[in-house]
Amino acid sequence: MAEKTNAAARLDRLPTSAFHRRILALIAMGMFFDGFDVYLAATVLGATLKSGFSTLSQNAQFVSVTFAGMMLGAFLSGFLGDRYGRRFTYQANLAIFGLASIAAAFAPSMRVLLLLRFVMGLGLGAEIVVGFSTLTEFVPPQTRGRWLGVLSVIVVSSLPISALAGTLLIPRFGWRMMFVLGGLGALIVWYLRKALPESPRWLESVGREEEADALLRNIEQEISLKHGPLPPPAPNTPAPASRKFASLFGPAFLPRMVVGAVTLIVANTMIYGFVTWLPTFFVQEGRSIATSFGYSFLMMLGAPVGSSIGASTADSWGRKPTIIGASLCTILLGAIYPFIKDAVLLPIVGFLLMMPIYVLVTLLFAIYVPELFPTEVRLRATGICNTIGRGSTIVTPFLALALYRPYGVGGVLSLMIGLLLVQILVVLLFGIEPKKRSLEEIARDVTVSSQAATM
């Protein structure tokens, strides 16, 4: 029956169609509100600080409990997704962060808000792991980078939209309205996303061959009605892979785990050690809350632009060259930014700095890390890499604050530059190039390299 199913080859030879666009839309809607809830910290914390609802230290705790929840959510989602399926996991995490977000709008104190933020973090961390990995298993290799990049653009667009919503709504309705918007959006998408099918690759990997075959037949029938007869799939050449958790730390997968963990540490530090803190930095420097939100919004417009660049270049330039090039650009602009004092130049240079940062966010979260691992362990491996990335940045808000107080924004950016240099070395030494290659071909490389190493 395994020969009959051949999920990978049957999916990879499909032309991109309305089916793929529907999958993209359903995943993207949930991940948009995930991003909205993550990024609303940038505007909400500035408002809670200004109103006296929170202190600077409590704001750091807010970001840290977000990381703690996301770290645990990413870890659990990996095991749940590989054990019970992608569909069960992405519906559960939407419900968790949607309900907790609505409850957060009614928090009577910052201590209660911190508790609810941890619960929200469980769902937020899971959504990032499951969403990108699920789309990875549906789209063909020739355009996988672009489609995952488009998903990331949609997710990252929640950053300026969150900043704009905060700018328009918080002065009139207060910061609680931001949690209402994020929570209601997530619950609406939870209902709509019941139509999202399970991954045929996962069904086949756990031995549910008949379900996988039936689902693939429905997909093929839908696409062939619009595109005509489909080409025959390539012969079934499955990549031997173990479902055992211990295999992730053996000689075959350990280098890839190192790459995934290091790159996600860097990506999380850039987002939550710098981007999330921008309004707070501006407020601390004496600017009004309206000016702070305005500056942040202008800078954050660079996020979807950078994400679009990452999406458009991943399949042409390749993953490794784009990661290394964007890291170098971030280092250069990050070294310049602290010395800009002009009120006009500051948001312009900040906009330019956001672009390579979000090229990296797109490449690392959306495209590169999920590609490193086979279907049997994809969510666990990606979840662990995300867990390490989130876990390491539990201390990032306090470290950012400790660096900001004596050294200003320059001290925070120095931390980023050091981590980016480490990332360049790790990707050069241990990174692979998955451009336009099937997931199973990438997985077979692990087996070949492992066998060569033991000879």
Chain segment 43-57, per-residue pLDDT in tens: 898 889 888 899 888
Task: Give the residue among 44, 121, 31 at the shortest CA–CA distance from 394.
Answer: 121
- Alpha-carbon span 202 to 205, nearest angstrom: 5
Q: What pLDDT was estimated at residue 282?
A: 67
Angle at 151 between CA 129 and CA 165, to 5 degrees: 95
Write out the two tokens for 438: 């099937």
Whole-number pLDDT of residue 319: 94
Residue-level pLDDT at 451: 44
Show the domains of the chain with their CATH numbers.
11-229+247-454 (1.20.1250.20)
Asked whether the beta carbons of 354 and 416 are under 8 A apart, the reply is: no
Distance (Å, whole) CA 187 – CA 96: 9
pLDDT reported for residue 452: 43
Contacts of 286 (CB under 8 A, 6+ apart): none
**Residue numbers in the chain where pLDDT is lower than 70:** 1-4, 236-243, 276-293, 446-455
Number of Cβ within a 10 Å radius of residue 79:
15
> 78, 111, 81, 115: which is closest to 100 by C-alpha?
115
